[in-house]
Structure 1
Amino acid sequence: MIIAVHAAWLLSLWVFGRDQPVNVVALASYLVLQCLRFWVIWTLGSRWTTRIIVPSEQPLVSAGPYRFLSHPNYAVVAGEIAVLPLVLDLPLLAVIFTILNAAVLAIRIQTENRALAASRVCVAHNV
């Protein structure tokens, strides 16, 4: 579902935004989000992946942006989904895809949290 929402978002940006003027302030906000994304990826290092993988017997990452948020990459993605359409003066796309993205991320985050909780139970019980 995440792939479908993001693909539809990108396609919509291409179809509706290719001849739009660029809002420089929104573009600057988008570039700040990219810096935050690199911080997330740098912090996770080899543990960064799009799949839900919980390495056994490794502590949760608590450095970098993870000191402040449990899921900072998803915060960046939510910001991107909202801001990039505004770069192209497409506020309706920003609203529609922010709502769709929130729905799929709610499912994803719940699934990740269950996987993390299960791994902590297994480690605590030496399973």
Structure 2
Amino acid sequence: MSRLFLFVFMIVVIQRLVELVVANRNEKWIRSNGAVEIGASHYKWMVLMHTAFFVSLLFEVLVFERPLSPFWGVLLGIFLLMQVLRVWCLSSLGKFWNTKILILPGADVQKKGPYRWIRHPNYVIVTTELIVLPLLFSAYFTAGLFLLLNIWMLSVRIPAEERALRELTNYNEVF
């Protein structure tokens, strides 16, 4: 089981690192076009939280020898669906997607893909992943702790993002 866990773990970590490369490239582009960063004070805490998630997951599964969930098929299916939806979110926003809140004043809000139906689909996906990935490997402590930490983080991040979008873009017209 630990081989399966390590395989899944490494794939997810690699995926996140690739996303950081994309975010960095997008950040350079949007900043060069006059973007404003909002929420920089909480960003470091979000990075710390997500890093700690992976450390906690690795530690809990390997040290406590957590077994694969009896519901692994359903959980894996949900996790894989989230990966498809994640790519859809990123591709829908294109160069505007980032891990930071970078707003281009006067830009039209992107309302493509899943953003047609929900304002922050990527946050729903990340929240689902923070629950499903640990549950897949019976890491209940990690699932519970990071669900609570993520709720706290989003209670800060979403209002900051919403406020910035309302003030600097056509967000009120679109939503």
- Deviation of 1:25 after TM superposition, in Å, equals 2.3
- Deviation of 1:33 after TM superposition, in Å, equals 0.6
Partner of 1:94: 143
TM-score normalised according to structure 1 size: 0.87
Partner of 2:49: 5
Distance 1:117 1:67 in 2: 17
Partner of 1:116: 165
- Per-residue deviation, residues 65-109 of structure 1 (Å, max 9, x unmatched): 001111111111100111110010122321211011110111011
Moved >4 Å (runs of 4+): none
The structure, 1 or 2, with the larger RCO (C-alpha pairs under 8 Å, 6+ apart) is 1
Q: How does 1:40-55 map to 2 (within 5 A)?
A: 40-55=89-104
Partner of 1:20: 66
TM-score normalised according to structure 2 size: 0.65
What secondary structure is seen at the aligned counterpart in 2 of 1:27? Answer: helix
Partner of 2:128: 79
- Per-residue deviation, residues 11-65 of structure 1 (Å, max 9, x unmatched): 0110111343332321221111111100000100111111211112221111110
Q: Which amino acid aligns with 2:78?
A: S
- What is the RMSD computed on CA atoms of the aligned residues? 1.5
Distance 1:118 1:76 in 2: 26
What secondary structure is seen at the aligned counterpart in 1 of 2:101? Answer: coil
CA contact (8 A) 2:108 2:169 kept: no
What secondary structure is seen at the aligned counterpart in 1 of 2:154? Answer: helix
Distance 1:6 1:24 in 2: 25
CA contact (8 A) 1:2 1:105 kept: no
Distance 2:93 2:123 in 1: 14
User: How many residues in Structure 1 have an aligned counterpart in Structure 2?
Assistant: 121
